[in-house]
Amino acid sequence: MTLFAIVGPTAVGKTAISLQLAAALDGEIVSADSRQIYRGLDIGTDKASPAQQALVPHHLLDVVDPDHVLTLAEYQRAAYAAIDGIHSRGRQPLLVGGTGLYLRAVLEGLGIPEVPPNEDLRAELEAFAVAHGSLALHARLAALDPVAAGRIDHRNLRRVVRALEVCLLTGRPISDLQAAAPPPYHILRVGLTRPRNALYARIDQRVDEMLAHGLQVETQRLLDAGYSPQLPALTGLGYRQMIQYLQGEMGYDEAVAAIKQQTRRFVRQQYTWFSLDDPRIVWFDLEAVGFDAVLAYVKREA
């Protein structure tokens, strides 16, 4: 059973290529995007449009409401179920997205500790970080689980807190509990990239298009529905800055500039998840080649 993984940074062109590949390979798309799982977050996540979804079956879009936290373990189970279902229908699954942890969970079969959130402990750890700094909290993790600490940047407070939470509640390092068991698929990883200047220009264009298509209205509708601005769903790129504008914390032009700047920063982070030096990924520069080159490679290697 073959699984094609289409990876790459935000705005590189994954949606267009994956739609073409799915059409050519009798495929279905499984999303690996941690924001597109939310209902009602359409414009700001650049979710496939209803017309695009009508062309090719999509899975793991609109899975939960914005106030529900989908755990990584839940995502992994849902993704495997979707992939196996596509295989059972005699069709080709394509795992498509830019969320590195989602991709690793599926492609590497990460072991994911089934430890439910402990809100009191999380609040205590977050308060410690506020009082003493993220480096001090990270040092606590390093003392308990140096392997996990080496993998997690101290600025990624959510992951540091989660790793500490698992260690403290189970008495075992999270790195031990995350031992991988690769899935039974023949995996082909296709990476899509562009020169940084071209990618940044596409980001700026995409942000402008999101605004033109109603990002402000979509954000206001979510707030009017009673969803808290502090929810993980609404702290992502685009929504966070638009909420700051709507609440009078920054001007419109300042918010737009912040979305573009923070998206460029996010792209740099994404390239640490799927490195251009990763020998498992075959990269295609979409400024140099087009869909035909990607399709030829996939057909040859499948």
The residues with which 282 forms a beta bridge, in sequence order, are 190
In this structure, which long-range contacts are made by residues 82-85, counting pairs with CB atoms below 8 Å and at least 24 apart in sequence?
A: 82/28, 82/30, 83/3, 83/30, 83/185
Exposed/middle/buried for 91, CB within 10 Å: 0-12, 13-18, 19+? middle
Hey, what CATH class is 197-269 in? mainly alpha
CA distance 187 to 192: 16
Nearest 5°: phi and psi at 287? -85, -20
Which homologous superfamily does the CATH classification assign to the domain defined by 2-111+180-196+273-301?
Answer: P-loop containing nucleotide triphosphate hydrolases (3.40.50.300)
Q: Where are the domains of the chain?
A: 2-111+180-196+273-301, 119-177, 197-269
> Residue-wise pLDDT tens for the chain (302 aa)?
999 999 999 999 999 999 999 999 999 999 999 999 999 999 999 999 999 999 999 999 999 999 998 989 999 999 999 999 999 999 999 999 999 999 999 999 998 877 888 999 999 999 999 999 999 999 999 999 999 999 899 999 989 999 999 999 888 888 887 778 899 999 999 999 999 999 999 999 999 999 999 999 999 999 999 999 999 999 999 999 999 999 999 999 999 999 999 999 999 989 988 888 999 999 999 999 999 999 999 999 87
CATH topology of domain 119-177: Histone, subunit A (1.10.20)
Q: In what order do the strands lie in the sheet with 281-285?
A: 58-59, 27-31, 92-97, 2-7, 186-193, 281-285
